[in-house]
A and B are shown apart, each in its own frame.
Chain A
Amino acid sequence: MNKNAKSRLPVRVQQTKTMPRYNKTHMLYLATIMVVLNGVIIATSF
Chain B
Amino acid sequence: MNTSIPNTSARTQTAVLATNTVIRSTYILLSITLMFSALTAGVSMMLNLPHPGILLTLGGYFGLLFLTAKFRNRSLGLAFVFALTGFMGYTLGPILNSYLALPNGSQVVMTAMGATGAIFLGLSGYALTTRKDFSFMGGFLMVGILVGFLAGLGAVFFEMPGLSLAVSSMFVLLMAGLILYETSNIIHGGETNYIMATVTLYVAIFNLFTSLLHLLGFMNGDE
Q: Which A residues fall within an 8 A CB radius of B?
A: 17-19, 23-46
Q: Are A18 and B152 in contact (CB under 8 A)?
A: no
B interface residues, tally (CB under 8 Å)? 51
- Interface of A: prevailing SS: helix
CB distance from B192 to the nearest CB of A (A): 9
Shortest Cβ gap from A38 to chain B (Å)? 4
Stretch among B25-33, B38-46, B137-145 lining the A interface: B137-145
Is the CB–CB distance between B203 and A31 below 8 Å?
yes
CA distance A40 to B52 in the complex (A): 12
Question: Taking A27-B142, A46-B223 as contacts, is the C-beta distance between A37 and B153 under 8 angstroms?
Answer: yes
Question: Which residue of chain B has its CB nearest to the CB of A37?
Answer: B152
By a beta-carbon cutoff of 8 Å, the part of chain B in contact with chain A is 51, 54, 57-58, 61-62, 65, 69, 88, 91, 95, 98, 135, 138, 141-142, 145-146, 148-149, 152-153, 155-156, 159, 161, 164, 167-168, 171, 175, 178, 185, 188-191, 196, 199-200, 203-204, 206-207, 210-211, 213-214, 217-218, 223
Q: Inside 8 A of A34's CB, which chain B residues have their CB?
A: 145, 148-149, 152, 171, 207
Tell whether, in the assembled complex, residue B171 and residue A32 are in contact, meaning their CB atoms are under 8 Å apart. no
In the complex the two chains form, is A38's CB within 8 Å of B188's CB? Answer: no
Given A27-B141, A31-B204, A34-B152, also A39-B57 (CB < 8 A) = yes
Q: Which one, A19, A29, A32, A38, contacts B210 given CB within 8 A?
A: A38
